[in-house]
């Protein structure tokens, strides 16, 4: 219930047309809380062999977290060639970079260059499995399922 309330609160904040520094900072904090909450579930482990930059590339929509199906396709990550990342949380897009070392994926969401109070955000994931158009990632033992679109 707290998770649903948090998502509704973040979504309401993003619906505001005012792009103040406070709202941008709330966006980053909301993104961190949202991704952390999504990843606080059961852990499992499949063989992660065969994960490469090439088969990771593409747009991946978060379809499940904590064993619950996602109610929206507005949360996604797009891994582009050259380590370029575009991602969306509740429909708000941001740019960044990504690197893959074995089954360890690191993403860095870049700060808005027009906002001196903004900051880069680094997250590290373990890719538990990547089979065709389905990927399971975890952070701190909590899993989420993504589908390539």
Mean pLDDT of 45-66: 83
Residue 73 has pLDDT above 60, yes or no: yes
**52-55 — which CB contacts under 8 Å span 24+ positions?**
52/100, 53/81, 53/100, 55/130
18 or 119: which carries more pLDDT confidence?
Answer: 119
How would residue 38 be classed by pLDDT, with cut points 50, 70 and 90?
Answer: very low
Q: How many domains does the chain have?
A: 1
pLDDT of residue 9: 32
Mean pLDDT of 57-85: 94
pLDDT of residue 101: 97
Mean pLDDT of 100-125: 93
Residue 47 has pLDDT above 90, yes or no: no
111 or 145: which carries more pLDDT confidence?
Answer: 145
Distance of CA 59 to the CA centre of its chain: 11
pLDDT of residue 18: 37
Q: Which domain holds residue 143?
A: 2-148
CATH code (residue 111): 2.40.128.280
């Amino acid at each position: 219930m707290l998770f649903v309330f948090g998502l509704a609160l973040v979504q309401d904040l993003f619906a505001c047309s005012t792009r103040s520094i406070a709202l941008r900072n709330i966006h980053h904090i909301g993104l961190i809380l949202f991704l952390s909450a999504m990843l606080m579930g059961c852990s499992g482990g499949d063989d992660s062999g065969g994960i490469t930059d090439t088969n990771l590339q593409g747009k991946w929509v978060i379809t499940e977290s904590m064993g619950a199906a996602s109610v929206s396709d507005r949360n996604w990550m797009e891994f582009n060639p050259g380590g370029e990342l575009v991602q969306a949380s509740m429909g708000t897009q941001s740019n960044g970079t990504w690197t893959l070392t074995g089954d360890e994926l690191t993403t860095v969401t870049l700060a808005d260059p027009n906002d001196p109070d903004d900051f880069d955000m680094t997250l590290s994931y373990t890719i538990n499995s990547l089979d065709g158009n389905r990927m399971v990632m975890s952070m701190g033992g909590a899993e989420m399922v993504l589908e390539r679109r």
